[in-house]
Structure 1
Amino acid sequence: MIYNSALVLSILISGSWCLVTKDLKFPEWFKFGAASAAYQVEGAWNVSDKGENIWDRLLHKRPEVAVGGANGDVACDSYHLWRRDIEMAEELGLDVYRFSISWTRLLPNGFANYISEDGKRYYNNLIDGLLEKGIEPVVTIYHFDLPQIFQDLGGWANPLISDWFADYARVVFTLYADRVKTWITINEPFATCDMGYDLQHGPYISDKKIGKYLCNKYSLISHAKAYRIYDEEFRPKYKGKLSLAQIFIWYDPATPEDAELTDLMLEYWEGRYSYPIFSKEGGWPPNIEKYLADKAKKEGYPYPRLPPFTAEEIELVRGTHDYYALNHYSSRLIRKARPGEKIGVYPYFGAEELGVQIENDPSFEIAGLDC
């Protein structure tokens, strides 16, 4: 069978396939699903009135950034082949299909003053088609494809991004919340902020001292504003659920002496994007906030590089979740870097900031998809 789209079945099973027997079954409540992202599958990058996003700009101006100069201009052409996508989802026996909405396909100039009729129709067709086949649509509002016009204004480092995102989210909810019951506001803000401001990801900026922490804060505030809009204006009628999706790599200490440093690394990775939302106290994880503030002071900065939350912002963000969404890819070991030692192959994962080495454990089995 020739597949016209990148519907990748995402099943995580502990152990090998040979252990799956008639005596080992998934519980009845378990849902099998597949997931995609708009830029990765839709293609049709300049069809109709769609606007330019940061990946359009980046891979047209810097084709060397992607392997073989690839880009998403055509991709899987899901914009035209959405019917086939739904057929494949049905053939796979999926319960759930997660996809993202392209901000600039729905709002070509980024702002909510103009909604594309073609963009609106495309997502209506996809949602209705999935429901007709008994497949639940799970919709990601933002999956890496920021309108270029907003990047030109500072992107996720601009405090106003939270208002622009909130306006966009309200449009999405208004159009689709009557049928979509599970939402992800922002996919993997760590990738956008920590990797995107360290030349590993769009927007492909080198600003790991300041920019990525501004992005960190304002992506959380953006999520929170979208959540509050749904909670107040749409939940009473539609009863849906929202969260944001975290990217996560688990870390174990290489030696018992590295345990405290490993805990700090977990705060750095997962805590900065989860603690403000899921903890009872809200705000930044205290240990990493103190570590980064002390380090910034030693570096001569007159203010923390991780920008503090105001009391109002803490309350805005705290509790903005209905479930926990986790994209887990791999696990690593953490040890303290030796004096004069060059940080290894994962410097953008926080290794330089915390002065650690991230290593593979040779006893770990390698999964089919590893990073």
Structure 2
Amino acid sequence: MKMAKTNIKTFPKQFLLGTATSAIQVEGAWDEGKSPSMWDDHFHNVGAKKANKYYLDMPSSLYNQYKAKGVQPRLADMYKGMPVYEIPATKIINESYFDYNGDVAADAYHKTDSDVALLKELGVNIYRFSICPIRIAPDIHSNAPGQEGLEYYNRLIDKLIENGITPMATLYHYDGSSELDVFGGHLHPYAATIFEEYARLCFNTYGDRVKYWTTTADIQVIAEGHGSEHFIPGFQEHKFSGILDYIALKNMLVAASKVWHLYRNEFQEKQKGECSITIEGSWFYPEDSNNPEHQRIAELARLSTFGMVVHALADGEYPAEVTAAVERNSKAEGFPADRLNKCNDDEKKTVIGAYDFIVFNYYNSVKVRPMTAEEMANEPNRKRRDRGYFMSFNNITPAETYEGFLNCLKYIDQVLNHPKIFIGENGFPEDEGCDNSVQKIAYHKGILNKLLEAIDQNINVFGYCVWSFIDTLEFGFGYRKKYGIYAVDFDDESRPRTKKKSFSFFQKLFKTKILEIEN
């Protein structure tokens, strides 16, 4: 019997290896020193969405008058007499879908010392976390910072540094204030102004110690909930997809870019840090690799998902193939308006190159084929009709998933002309009550092997974080999907952490920067 040969590979000395979480997914303490978030409202009201008025115009001249006087204006005063767009009340169809919430989650808010001790035991070089905006500024319309929240993240950052762990902070990970809905939330350009003021507070408070910043989590995911009842703000897809989600995508892209410019212009020279933007991507393979239509739709799938953000950062434009598909569908449906909401010339200047490095999140690849005419006619989601593909998750092989990761890195490297890249999330889910440690280790070995191939091909990847440090609230999956290196018992009030069987693999990887691949 032929013995398997072990191939030893080593990461560069300065390469950063670690793990990640986000505030809304692990902190809990939903009503301690903070106001309710959009997710809190969504969970507590089982997806109910009250009728609301969304303001179309930002009264910038009035706002600037207030700011010139050093006064933060009240939104109710600013928006008197402004034209509005009314969103009718909606409610998710399946109320049992959200039978959980993030009120306690993994209770990380109360476990700073013990969690950092676990991170040190794990041997991480870096810990990627997010700051909850409404802990820092509970009243988003005033200049009053939330002292309890400011102190919480000060303790976390200081504790990480004391233990030799580099902090990487994300400013926004889907947990905006529910009060954002007063004027339209992600749909309104004024959100960028609030985001900038909040970011300035974070840079001023933590920038002496945090040298890696991320403006937002995956922007295209933030946009999804404006045309899907399963993600905040939870607008039903048959009414708003392919309209409001495109508006949110552009607005958040511009808002994130403005924060990058803020950091570069006011903080970078003194603080010597870097500021990034996050993109989530999957590689799309044609279901029939020999069929030209399958090849075409796989390319459109890449361009119309994470490719929209990549190309906007490169030249301020969405891919021509995406624009053509949206215009073609609008014409066929008799839709008179431009639904894609492209950047104007000033916005293009803001967005192009608005990053010091790219944070890329990857989990899987899929195979796609073109929708049939019947599927297209019966598809309630307008944006999915724009994309025009039908996904299949069951016929993808592990080798294709690993190669898809490398393909994504090559794509970003080519379109953005060799940027610095940090892998912000990569993980393998284990189902409730299952031990999938063998598959989990194999998955990470396959991905990391391809990451090292990317480095050998001069793709400038400088770090990697496993999703996740501990089991988390996984949004639409609740607590049923377990990505953590440490398990969390969500049935125990104290939320104890325990090592999973894959722990020793990750600990050895983080401490030695050595990857062993069996051939």
Provide the TM-score with structure 2 as the length reference: 0.63
- Unaligned 5+ segments in structure 2 are 48-93, 402-426, 431-476, 478-519
| Identity percentage of aligned residues | 30
- CA offset digits 1:322-356 (Å, max 9, x no partner): 11211111101121122313799x98795433222
Work out which structure has the larger RCO, using CA pairs closer than 8 Å and 6 or more positions apart in sequence.
2
1:287 aligns with 2:325: no
Which residue does 1:211 correspond to in 2? 244
1:53 aligns with 2:37: yes
Cα distance between partner residues in 1 of 2:29 and 2:109: 6
* Among candidates 259, 273, 290, match of residue 240 of structure 1: 273
Query: 1:65: how far off?
Result: 5.9
Query: Bigger radius of gyration, 1 or 2?
Result: 2
Aligned ranges for residues 126-145 of structure 1 at < 5 Å?
126-145=156-175
- CA offset digits 1:276-295 (Å, max 9, x no partner): 11x1x322222212321332
Provide the TM-score with structure 1 as the length reference: 0.87
1:358 aligns with 2:394: no
* Among candidates 49, 73, 80, match of residue 110 of structure 2: 80
Which residue does 2:373 correspond to in 1? 339
Give the letter aligned to residue 62 of structure 1. V
Which residue does 2:359 correspond to in 1? 325
CA contact (8 A) 2:365 2:396 kept: no
Q: 1:363 to 1:74 in 2, by over 3 A?
A: closer
- CA offset digits 1:89-126 (Å, max 9, x no partner): 10100101011111111100123511011111001110
User: Which stretch has the larger CA shift, 65-74 or 98-107?
Assistant: 65-74
Cα distance between partner residues in 1 of 2:272 and 2:96: 41
The secondary structure found in structure 2 opposite 1:32 is strand
Instruction: Output the aligned Cα RMSD.
Output: 2.6
User: Which stretch has the larger CA shift, 54-63 or 217-226?
Assistant: 54-63
CA contact (8 A) 1:283 1:318 kept: no
Cα distance between partner residues in 2 of 1:77 and 1:20: 43
Q: 1:329 to 1:358 in 2, by over 3 A?
A: same
Cα distance between partner residues in 2 of 1:110 and 1:117: 14
Give the letter aligned to residue 230 of structure 1. Y
CA contact (8 A) 1:181 1:240 kept: yes
CA contact (8 A) 2:274 2:356 kept: yes
Cα distance between partner residues in 2 of 1:88 and 1:76: 14
- CA offset digits 1:208-250 (Å, max 9, x no partner): 1211001000000110110010010001111211111111111
1:265 aligns with 2:250: no
Q: 1:31 to 1:349 in 2, by over 3 A?
A: farther
Q: 1:349 to 1:138 in 2, by over 3 A?
A: farther
The secondary structure found in structure 1 opposite 2:276 is strand
Q: 1:153 to 1:186 in 2, by over 3 A?
A: same
Which residue does 1:274 correspond to in 2? 310
Which residue does 1:26 correspond to in 2? 11
* Among candidates 42, 49, 60, match of residue 27 of structure 2: 42
Query: 1:369: how far off?
Result: 2.9
Cα distance between partner residues in 2 of 1:66 and 1:321: 40
Cα distance between partner residues in 2 of 1:121 and 1:20: 51
CA contact (8 A) 2:199 2:259 kept: yes
Residue correspondences, number: 350
* Among candidates 180, 186, 192, match of residue 156 of structure 1: 186
